[in-house]
Structures are given as C-alpha cells and as structure tokens.
Chain A
Amino acid sequence: MINLIVILVSALMLALLLVWWRWPAFRTWIEAPKYSMLRQERRFDHQLK
C-alpha cells in the first residue's frame, strides 16, 4: 500500500515536472489562466461601473 502511494505520487510529480521542463511552451500555457481570470474580473468590474 505504502509503495503504491509513494510510486503514484512520485510518478505524478515527475510527470508534471518533466512536461514543465521538456516543453517551455507548456509553462506559458499553464500560467495563462491566471491572467484570463484577471481580465474577466476587470471586465465585470467595468460592467458594474
């Protein structure tokens, strides 16, 4: 059980880090939502104003 959990968590983390390291564009893509969220927020604020 412990081995299973450790292996799965490690695999999950390694997979994420590998993608992050191998494809720089992934970093850009994965960070994009935090800006679109802010843009939406500003659009709604403008609507309220």
Chain B
Amino acid sequence: MTTSAQNLTSRNERVINTQTLGALPSIEYGLIRAHVFASLVTLVISVLFGILVATKFTFPEFLGGHGWLTWGRLRYNHTQGIFFGWLGNAFLAFFYYVVPRLANRPVLSRRLGWFLFWVWNFAVVLPGWVLVAAGFSQPLEWAEFPLVVDAFVVLAFVLMVFEFVLPFLKARLSDLYVSAWYIIGGIIFTMLAYPVGNLVPELVPGARGAAFSGLWIHDAVGLFVTPFAAAIAYYLIPATTRRAIFSHFLSLVGFWLLFFTYPLNGTHHYVYSAIPMAAQKGAIVASAYLGMAVILVVTNWLLSLRGSSGTVSKDVPLRFVWFGVVSYLVVSLQGSIQALMPVNRFIHFTDWVIGHSHLAMIGFASFIALGGIAHLWQRIPGTRYNERMMNWSFWLLAVGLTLMVTDLTIAGLVEAQVWQSSAPWIDSVRAVGSYWLVRTLSGLPILAGFVLFWTSLVTGPRLSEAITSGTSRVASESIVAFENVSPASATLFSTDWLSYAHVVAFGAGVGFFALSFLVLAILPGKELEAEIKQVAPVTMPTLTASEQRGRVIYGREGCAYCHTQQIRSLAADVRRFGAPTEPWETKYDYPQLWGTRRIGPDLSREFNLHSRDWQLTHLYNPRLVVRDSVMPPYPWLFDGSPSQPTQEGLEVLAYIQSLGRARQLSGFDHQTLASSVQPETPDMAMASEPSARATPPTVPIAMMGGYSLTAPVLHPASDRDDLQEEVSRGRTLFAANCASCHGSAGRGDGKASASLLPKPANLTAALFSDERLSSVLWNGVAGSAMPPWRQLPTEDLCALVAYIHSLHVPGATPSTQEATSLNEGKPLFAANCASCHGDTGAGNGPAAGALAPPPTNFRLKKPTQERAWDVLENGVPGTAMPPWRSQLSADQRRVLVEFVRSLYGPPQENSGQ
C-alpha cells in the first residue's frame, strides 16, 4: 500500500457506505458509440465552418457569392455546431458511461436514449445548421438556431432529466460523487436558462433584452460547458490514476461557488453599456469570485494529480484532461481580469476575446471532452484504439491552439491600440490582417488533430487486451482499504436526509437560476423600464414594415457579429461614434442587436452618415468603396449590380439608414450638438455614476449628417521639398482611401463610381482652394457618397490636399474675355443660376440651403473650361444641377462659361497653384 493510500485510508476510517452495490448496472454502449460518432462528425464539420469563417477575414470574396456560405451564417453554424454537435454529443456519451457508475443504476431507458439521440442530432443540430444556412436564425450569441429548433433543445433537456437525473433520484445515494452534482446541476440549470437566453430577448426589447442575453451568453459556457467538463475531469483523474481526488470537500465548495458565481457573470459582457451600473459592477465582482473559485477547483485537480506526472505523460486521455485543467485556470483568470473595467475598456470587442473564447471552448472544454471520450472508448468492449495516433492528435491540437490563442490575443491588443487613437477604423482592420492569416493557418493543425483523434478511435488494436493491461496498472490498495471501512463508525451522518444530496444538487440548479434571473435580468430590467418611461421622447418613431424586414435580414446575415449597436460610455467610443447609447434608443429592438464584437465600426448612428448609393455599393461589394474592407459581399441582395437592389436589398438598406434616426430626430442631443469635438472627453462611466450616461454627447469623428462644422483650413507645405514629400505621401493615402471612388488618377472613375450618384468628383477637372478641400475632407459632402475624413491625422489631410492639387490639369484660369462678353453673361447668370449659386457665384443663392449637395462656390472650386461646358450641357446627375441644353443656346452657354470663370477671383487667392 502506498503512503498516500494509507493516509487516505486512515483519514476515512469512519466513512459509511450507504450504497447497496448488488449487480452492476448495465451501460448503453450502443448509445455511447452513437454519440461519440456524432460528436466527432459534427466536430470536424464545425471546425471546417470555423476555418472558412477565418479564411474570409483574409479573402473576403472566398465563397462569397452564395448566401448560405456567407460569413455570418457560417459563423452561426460554427459556434452552434461546436456547442450542440460536438460538446453536446460528447457530454451525452460521457453521461451514458458515467451515470450508471455514479448512481449504481442504469439510465432510465434505452429507447428514451435513442429518442434523445435522434432529437439532439436530427431535430436540433442538423435542422439547425440547415435553417441557419437557409437564412432562418436568431442573431443572439450562443442562441443562433431559430426558435423552432430551440423548442427541441428544451425537449432534449427535459429528456435528459428523465434519462440521467432520475437514476440518481431513484438511487437516493448518501454519498453523491462530485461529478454527479455537476451533471445534475448542469442539466437542470441549462434546461431552465436556455429558454431565457433564446426566447426572452424576442419578447423583451433592447437594453432589457440584452440583460437576459448576457445571462445566457455566460450560462451557455458557465453552466452547460463547464459543469459537464468538470464532471469529466473529476471522474477521469481518479479513474485513471486509481487514486481518490485530493478533497471531495473542496470539490463541493468549488461546485457551490461555481454555480453561485457563474450565472452572476453575465452582465460583464456589457460593461460600460446602458445596463444599470449596479448590475455591471455586480457581474464584475462575481467574475472576481469566479476566478477564486476556479483557483480552488484547479488546485484540487492538480493536487489530485500530485505524484502522477508519469501517468499524465503516458496516458494520453489523462494528458488531454491535464491540458484542459491548465487551460481552465488560465482562461478563468483571464476572464476575471478582462471583466475589470480598466482592462475591459481596452480589450472588449477585440480579437482578444475571440482568443479567450477559443481557449475556453477548445483548450478547456474540448480537451477535457476529448480526454473523456478517449478514456471511455478504451473501456467499451470491442473498440479499437490507436495510442500513437492519439498522441499525435494531442500535440497537433496543443500546438495549434497555443498558436491561435497567442495570435488572437496579440491581435486584440493591436486593435485596442488603434481604437484608442483617432485613426480611421479601417486602420485597425489593416493592422491585424497578418494576424488573421496566422489564425486561419493555426486552424489547420487543430483540424488535423481532431481528424487524427477520430482516426485513433477506429484504428489500432481492439481493446479487450488493452483494458486488461490498463487495469494491471491499477494501484488498488486504497480501494480495498476503503471497502474494509466499518459502517458503524459514522453514525452521525448516516441520517436519512443525507440521502437527498441529489435533491440539493437539483435545488442548486433551480435556486441559482432564479437568483441570477432576478439579480441580472429582472431588477436591472425594472430599472431600465422606469428610465425609458421617463426619458424616451414621446415622438420616437418606430421602424417601418420595410425597415423591420430589413432588420431581420441584417440579423440573419450576422451583421451584428461584426458591427455593434451599443456605444459605450468611454471616450474612445464617444469620440468615434457619438453619444453613449441610451436605453430608450433600443426600446423597439426585438431582439436586441447590441453585439459583442467589433470588426467593423459601430452602426448606432448610421442615419445620415453615408449616402444611399454608398450603402448599396458597400453592401454589394464593400471593397468597391473601402479598399481594405474585410466585410463579406452580399450580391444575392442585388440583381447583378449595386444600382439594382432586390426588395431585400432595399429593406436592409432602409434598416441600416434608420439606425440612430430616433436619436437625431428627437432633439435629445439638441443642446449639445453645437459643441465641437472633444478628443479628451473623460470616460463618463468613471466620472460620475450612476447617471454617467446622461453626460452630454460630443460630435463623433465619423459623423456627418446634420453636423456642419467649421473645418480648419489645411495648407500644403510651402517649401518645395516638403511639398514633394507631402504629395508623395498623399498619393499613398489617396490610393488607400480615395481611389476606389475617385479612381487611381483622380478622374472620378474608380470602381465604385459606376454605382454612385452623384459621381465622385473628377479632381483633375477643377482647381480646388485649400478651404474647399479642407471643408470636404473634414465634413464630407452632404447628399453625396463622400464621407468626412477628419479622423485622419492633420498631416495626412494636408498631404491629401497637396496631392489633390497636384492632380489638377491647368486651364481653370479666370476668364480673359472682353468685358462685353461678360456683360452678356451676367444677366444670363442672374436669371438662370443665381438662385442656387448666388449673385457672385459663392454658392449661397436663396435655394442653396435646401440643396444637397450644395451648389458650387466658384471661388472655392474652379472648374476647367471643358468641365464647365460639360456641366452646362449635361448637368450633374444626382444633384440639383440640370442640363441647360434645351433652355440655353450654345452661344448663351459659351457666354455663361466665360462669365462663371470670371467669378473665380484673382489667381493669387488660389492656394496650391
């Protein structure tokens, strides 16, 4: 007998065993095989989905022509496949293996088991995938399968209660092992929490619904994935080392702490949001407690493995579990830290969080589930097992995952750094392009590892011999000693009520569910409801039927998974996107579309930000207007060109253009709109709570509509060498940001120009003043696709001004015609042009205020003679400028051209000539 075994025996001399052993319960090996097979098939498919999703970051056009293979739908199927297909089946396989052992009773019914198998795979996973691919889904994190599928998920959990919980209830064990506690609690809790996360947000809108979603986002991982993975780890460690776990008391303390604190973490996904600060802070505190609980749990596991390093290195299933245990510690501490406000403000919405979730779902849950499957597979008569291949599988997975998580963590930090600056959003996309490529490549060893794992279960020697050799390794002294314990020595705890431990576990699931529901959803919801009632403008418009349908399309294509609709109370968010989101702004959002990730910018204030043509062109192919965008194209919303949207295309456009409309039209920010940009705005949530969100908004750097600001006049360098350098830099900037519309040579013939109206300006056909270029770059051009670029550094804007000047073809000199000719033009101009362009051609005629784009100010923009003639001939499509061919004769138009050129002002006023 080993020393440790002696100690354990000594410590437990008074243990009572109330379990009547009798004959061994039967185990449903057929169901185990079926679920293992289903788990591995769905795992490989789900990982393939994931690799396609990752590939699209680098090659956005890849398989981009079909709706069912678009990024959003694949992303939904990737996570739901991992959740239901892989982990769900793996856990079920483990339940069939372990419940009879722990309850000393068989599962309720083999027939029920097969029914559950069919429901899980053929009423949940498969139809879920098909429906999502076909465009029927729910845009809610970890709840993407449509409601019809959700009904079967709930049914499956009810069946699980009968199949796996009932045997424990019937057994009435007084010594319920911790794995059983986790299995019972997890099943009960998820059965209750699942409808909350999937159905309630459809009934409770906006911020209030987000509180429920937050609950489920964390419960999905914390109370479905974690308890079942913990159950496997708690079982597999002693079963492999043949030594009892270090402390069952600590394991139960960990159980209670996990079940208490996990549900309370939910709102940490919405820190700095419109959800009441008390709920946010409660979630942060609970996250800190969770970190401590996990330290306790992992310490117990690692102490249980003390002295077993040889077994860990030799036994691959145990090594899988060991890796999972270490990952659990890392990911949980990471989670606790990233919930803290000073960290959360930087890394939330970035790839850091994606790395975190992959570490949780692969590093922790999947590694432990793989260990569990490999372990039980060796104990199913007649199965094959290839240990060498299993070993390769472990290393491929470990290397691939480490690379992926490291890469995504760094990518997240890079994104956070760019987001904190005033650089354009697209810079953050450019900055992490190489990291996304590495992430995709890191998925390949992971896929290979999973395939090898599968292969290792169908190759190698049959296992009847291996089992024998495996048991020969058993150090069974402690077990023998335990069996000799005198039952009479533990009278104090042999009372009947202890045989209801399973009921306590059952109650834990129900009780903590109710508590989290109350604390994280009901109470904050009440507060939000009262606030909305008090603050929401009476005239707040609802979405039209068309916009509502567009919202459904927006959700089905996964737009909310790259574009948030929540501006946090942080200076970086406010400066970039506008005032923090108020709860009332989302009061008609069923379900909420706040999002938890930003690959593209927040869209809360999209109203008036981009023109209709820009939006349509961007939807058709984002790279037509934003060269380095990684957004997927949506050609199935068009009939072959951006100017021919389908009904669905128009509806999604209508929805996007409605975002932020209520805020702008309500006058909510009326008193503060005139304020200028405040780049050093303090973080409002930190400044004064809980009314932080009432802090007046600032004008965001990317916002244009309705915000006409006086632009600083940007002058190119006066020194010739410096100017050349500026022009050179401006050329690069122009190619990156402007050429997709204006063309590489600035002739207004870029790829996007075909679908934009008015056409992008031909920058070679007019001489622009510094003032005009500064104004356009700063504010954009209302009524056109030209957005504001004031988020670029001033030196970049100056470089662009210098480069645009260099594009000009000489010819826009003031008129040198005789005075008589100009005298003829003056009445013509006054009669036909001055109402818009003003008497002096300053673009300030009586009608000018109502026109967008505004009429040309000829002192600031001086078209060449050819361009002026062309405009008079053909007008400017998409603006108020009509063709004058039919109204004016050719001579009159020629006179007008000369007159307009006389308005240009003296040459010395033209900077940059």
Name A's B-contacting residues (CB within 8 A): 1-2, 4-6, 8-9, 12-13, 16, 20, 23, 25-49
Q: Interface 1/0s, chain B 467-508, versus A by CB < 8 A? A: 110110010101100110000001111000010000000000
Name B's A-contacting residues (CB within 8 A): 8, 11-17, 19, 21, 24, 27, 101-102, 104, 174-179, 235, 238-239, 242-245, 247-249, 251-253, 256-257, 260-261, 264, 278-279, 281-282, 285-286, 289, 379, 381, 464, 467-468, 470-471, 474, 476, 478-479, 482-483, 490-493, 498, 519
Chain A hits for B483, CB < 8 A: 39
With A36-B175, A37-B102, A45-B471 as known contacts, state yes or no: A31 contacts B15, CB within 8 Å: yes
Residue of B nearest to A35 (CB): B482
Chain B hits for A48, CB < 8 A: 379, 381, 464, 467, 471
Q: How far is the CB of B660 from chain A (nearest CB, A)?
A: 31
Where chain A touches its partner, the secondary structure class is helix
Where chain B touches its partner, the secondary structure class is helix
Which of B104, B244, B257, B493 interacts with A35 by CB under 8 Å? B244
Most buried by B among A31, A39, A46: A31
With A48-B379, A48-B467 as known contacts, state yes or no: A12 contacts B279, CB within 8 Å: no
Complex contact A37–B177 (CB within 8 A): yes
Q: How far is the CB of A31 from chain B (nearest CB, A)?
A: 5
With A2-B282, A5-B264, A12-B256 as known contacts, state yes or no: A32 contacts B21, CB within 8 Å: no
Complex contact B16–A29 (CB within 8 A): yes
- Interface pairs (20), CB distance under 8 Å: A5-B264, A16-B249, A23-B492, A25-B14, A25-B490, A30-B252, A32-B12, A32-B15, A34-B178, A34-B238, A35-B15, A36-B17, A39-B479, A41-B239, A42-B479, A44-B101, A45-B470, A46-B471, A48-B379, A49-B468
Complex contact B24–A16 (CB within 8 A): no
Complex contact B285–A31 (CB within 8 A): no
Q: A33 vs B247: C-alpha distance in the bound complex, in angstroms?
A: 10
Tally of A-B Cβ pairs under 8 angstroms: 154
Residue of B nearest to A49 (CB): B468
Chain B hits for A46, CB < 8 A: 471
Complex contact A49–B467 (CB within 8 A): yes
Chain B hits for A37, CB < 8 A: 101-102, 177, 179, 235, 238-239, 244
Q: A26 vs B233: C-alpha distance in the bound complex, in angstroms?
A: 24
Chain A hits for B470, CB < 8 A: 45
Complex contact A39–B482 (CB within 8 A): yes
Q: A38 vs B711: C-alpha distance in the bound complex, in angstroms?
A: 76
Q: A37 vs B380: C-alpha distance in the bound complex, in angstroms?
A: 19
Complex contact B474–A9 (CB within 8 A): no
Complex contact A34–B245 (CB within 8 A): yes
Q: A23 vs B13: C-alpha distance in the bound complex, in angstroms?
A: 15
Residue of A nearest to B8 (CB): A35
Q: How far is the CB of B315 from chain A (nearest CB, A)?
A: 14
Q: How far is the CB of A30 from chain B (nearest CB, A)?
A: 5
Q: Give the top 7 A-B pairs by smallest Cβ distance, nearest first.
A: A1-B282, A29-B493, A25-B492, A35-B482, A33-B177, A34-B244, A33-B175
Given contacts A36-B17, A42-B476, 9 further A-B contacts (CB under 8 A): A5-B285, A25-B493, A26-B492, A28-B11, A29-B16, A29-B493, A32-B15, A44-B379, A48-B464
Residue of A nearest to B515 (CB): A8
Q: A43 vs B174: C-alpha distance in the bound complex, in angstroms?
A: 19
Which of B177, B252, B379 interacts with A36 by CB under 8 Å? B177
